[in-house]
Amino acid sequence: MYMNHYNFVCSPRAREILAPHIEQEGEFLPIETEEGPYFLFHCLNYLDCLVLEECEFDRYEEDDPTSPIRSFSKMAFRPEAIRDVHCFHLCSGPGALFLTHNFMRLLKEHNFEGLCPKLMWEESSSPA
């Protein structure tokens, strides 16, 4: 599992390759740059996929168990919830964009460069 900020930007070529795999999980919004047209991918896929009992996190109001999660120091995902997806946001917690190993395989298969997400969870630790 990898984490990036909230969205990512890609070239028209990258959009053409990625769209059949991830378009159902978000939308490609056209943007103009000094280098020409590009696309911002806005992920609309929100999943309830954490095993909260195994996570370590801070809440905005530490004494209130209903307070929103502010940050994680350890995360545990339900493998079956993320097995077939490429990217998602958490239903609760910080709004970071999570990229699964499915997404990273697509990048590698097509020799994409430039996106440098942070590794959050080893695929081998998943029984999926």
105-122: pLDDT as tens digits: 998 999 888 777 777 666
Give the DSSP per-residue string, 35-101: TEEEEEEEE--EE--B-GGG-EEEESSTT-TTSPEEEEEE--B-HHHHTT-SEEEESSS--PEEE-H
Between 95 and 107, the more confident residue is 107
Range 90-113 average pLDDT: 87
pLDDT higher than threshold 90 for residue 71: no
Note down the domain range covering 7.
2-117
Domain tally, the chain: 1
